[in-house]
Structure 1
Amino acid sequence: MKLYKISTLLFLCLSTPSWALSNDTEQPIYIDSDNQELDIQKNIVTFTGNVILRQGSIDIRADKVVITRPNGQDGQETIDAYGKPATFHQIMDDGKPIDGASLKMRYETAIDFLKMTDEAILIQEGSEIQGNVITYKIDEQRLVAESGKTKRVTTILQPKNLNKK
């Protein structure tokens, strides 16, 4: 029963009416990097070296970012970010930030799906989830954290009074 209450509380903490600013995905994407390689036939762009990707309030920092557009279809992009760790920061509609980090992140634009793999952590208002894999289905506001072979999923919830200071 206690696990159910904690899971429910965690769900309420991390699923607000809007995960991020409503218009983030309507903004242009800006990418700065030390190097860029384009494979026109495969529709793949690879950015390496101190990569900074920004779209609206979204800010991703990584060692390498690979953007794939299958069959050249707009709106079907897959963005893979790699780092030690790769990080992201985003502002929600209520003005509160959410931060994450992992060794690998994958975002599939067509289905609004984010997957963070290897040493994944998600932080919002001091509360956090750590696991081997964290997935988030944005349009359904469904988050799943999975453990690895040697570590369990760890959740740290901050009391409301702490967040008001």
Structure 2
Amino acid sequence: MKLYKLTTLLCLCLSSPSWALSNDTEQPIYINSEKQELDIQKNIVTFTGSVVLRQGSIDIRADRIVVTRPNGQEGKETIDAYGNPATFHQLMDNGKPIDGAAKKMRYETDTEYLRMTDDAVLVQEGSEIQGKMISYKIDEQKLVAESGEKKRVTTILQPNQLNKSKK
């Protein structure tokens, strides 16, 4: 399965010239959970109970991760991570981390689209984006953050990043 695309995409949710460690997606994927259920007819694998997905420097933690392969088509997997919140962590090539959290993360491998919903947060070098929903289209490098009712999207930029961008 192409779970590596999920982990790659999770790191690309903030605009930066250097993202995850270059070789993360070349590493094997390890998924540990308290329970795993496979529905062969529906092409669905469900991992539950303190799920940890690791690939290189990538670390995703969730209460439940569901991997679906519609009609058994490789490369068209949908990966859903659920938690209170589900979290991810990854190192960039420059050694600095990127972290995210949301109650639900959904990645569609064939369209390279990530959607984080319900209290979504992305943090990189102290700068932060918060919203009800954060989506990222990896191939187009487009990020959208949306607010919920009676809330607004919040972005916090740290001065050290602003100063670096002026150079």
TM band (smaller chain): 0.7 to 0.9
Q: Hey, what does 1:151 align to over in structure 2?
A: 151
1:140 paired to 2:140: yes
1:44 paired to 2:44: yes
Q: Hey, what does 2:9 align to over in structure 1?
A: none
Deviation at 1:161, TM superposition (A): 7.5
Deviation at 1:25, TM superposition (A): 2.8
1:31 paired to 2:31: yes
Paired-residue identity, %: 79
Q: Hey, what does 1:115 align to over in structure 2?
A: 115
How far apart are the structure 1 equivalents of 2:50 and 2:23? 26
- Structure 1 segments, 4+ long, off by >4 Å, are 161-164
Q: Hey, what does 1:81 align to over in structure 2?
A: 81
Q: Hey, what does 1:93 align to over in structure 2?
A: 93
Larger relative contact order (Cα-Cα within 8 Å, sequence gap ≥ 6): 2
**Cα–Cα, structure 1 residues 145 and 72, in superposed 2: closer, same or farther, change >3 Å?**
same
1:69 paired to 2:73: no
Deviation at 1:96, TM superposition (A): 1.8
Tell me the alpha carbon deviations over residues 91-117 of structure 1, each in whole angstroms, 9 at most, x when there is no partner: 222222110000000112222221100
SS at match of 1:62: strand
Partners of 1:107 and 1:113 within 8 A in 2: yes
What TM-score does the superposition give when structure 2 sets the normalisation length? 0.83
2:134 corresponds to which letter in structure 1?
Answer: I
1:114 corresponds to which letter in structure 2?
Answer: L
How far apart are the structure 1 equivalents of 2:35 and 2:161? 46
**Cα–Cα, structure 1 residues 18 and 108, in superposed 2: closer, same or farther, change >3 Å?**
farther
Q: Hey, what does 1:21 align to over in structure 2?
A: 21
Deviation at 1:162, TM superposition (A): 10
How far apart are the structure 2 equivalents of 1:130 and 1:161? 18
Tell me the alpha carbon deviations over residues 105-145 of structure 1, each in whole angstroms, 9 at most, x when there is no partner: 01122222211000000000000000000011122221110
How far apart are the structure 1 equivalents of 2:155 and 2:15? 15
How far apart are the structure 2 equivalents of 1:76 and 1:24? 21
How far apart are the structure 2 equivalents of 1:34 and 1:132? 29
Q: Hey, what does 2:6 align to over in structure 1?
A: none
What TM-score does the superposition give when structure 1 sets the normalisation length? 0.84
Tell me the alpha carbon deviations over residues 10-59 of structure 1, each in whole angstroms, 9 at most, x when there is no partner: xxxx3123432333333322100001100001110001100001122221
Q: Hey, what does 1:128 align to over in structure 2?
A: 128
Q: Hey, what does 2:4 align to over in structure 1?
A: none
Q: Over aligned residue pairs, what C-alpha RMSD do you find?
A: 2.0
| Length, aligned pairs only | 151
